[in-house]
Amino acid sequence: MSLPTPAGPDPLPPEARAAASRLGVLAGLVVSILVAAALVISAAKVGITPGVSPLVVLLGWVVLGALLGPRLKRFLAIFQVTGSAGAAVTAGVVFTAPILQIIAAEQGAPVPPVDVPLLIVASLSGALLGFGFVGLATRRFLSDPRLPAPEAVAADRLIETAVERPEARPRLGPSLFAGLLSGFLVQAALLLGWLAEEIHTLVLRPRLPLLGRIELDLPLPAAPIYLGIGALLTLPTALLVFSGGLVNAVTTGYAAAHAMPPTTFRWVGGAAMVVAVLYSLIHYVAEGRAAARAASSHAAPTAPNSLTDVTLLELSDETRRALYASIALGLVLLAALMAMVGAPPGTIAVLGAVSFILVSLLSGLGGLLSLQVGSSASPVSGTVFMGMLVLSITALGIGLSGMAGVALLVPIVVAACVAICAANDSSQDYKTMQLNGYRVSDGFTGQLAGLIGGAVIVPITLWMAHEAYALGSPDLPAPQASFFSTVLASLFLDAEIPIGPVAAGACLGLLAVAIETAGRRRGLILSSLAFAVGIYLPSVIGTGIMLGATARFLANPRAPTAPHAGILNAAGLITGDAFAALTLGVLIIAGVDHTGWGPGSGAGLPGLVGWVALVAMLGWIGWNHRKG
Which residue ranges make up each domain of the chain? Answer: 14-288+333-627
| Averaged pLDDT for residues 278-296 | 67
pLDDT value at position 532?
A: 85
Q: What integer pLDDT is reported at residue 288 of this predicted model?
A: 59
For 267, the 3-state DSSP assignment is: helix
Q: Is 470 left (phi over 0), alpha (psi -120 to 50) or beta?
A: left
- Say which range, 28-37, 211-220, 323-332, has the weakest mean pLDDT: 211-220
pLDDT, residue 98, reads 95
Cα–Cα nearest to 124, from 531, 592, 452, 603:
452
For the residues 59-75, what does the mean pLDDT come to? 86
Per-position DSSP letters for 449-511, written without gaps between them:
HHHHHHHHHHHHHHHHHHHHH-TTSSSS--HHHHHHHHHHHIIIII----HHHHHHHHHHHHH
Lowest mean pLDDT among 211-215, 569-573, 608-612: 211-215
**Region 286-296: what's the mean pLDDT?**
63
Residue 306: is its pLDDT beyond 60? no
Mean pLDDT of 399-423: 91
- pLDDT category, 511, cuts 50, 70, 90? very high
pLDDT score, position 475: 83
> pTM of the predicted model, to two decimals?
0.85
Report whether pLDDT(145) > 50: yes
User: What's the mean pLDDT when you consider all of the chain?
Assistant: 84
Cβ atoms of 557 and 267 closer than 8 Å: no
pLDDT at 172 (0 to 100): 80
Please state, in angstroms and as integers, the Cα–Cα distance from residue 549 to each residue in 229, 448, 451, 596, following that order: 8, 34, 30, 36
For residue 308, pLDDT over 60 is answered with: no
Question: Is residue 128 over pLDDT 90?
Answer: yes
Q: What is the pLDDT of residue 376?
A: 58
Which whole number is the average pLDDT over 398-427? 90
Percent of the chain with pLDDT over 90: 33
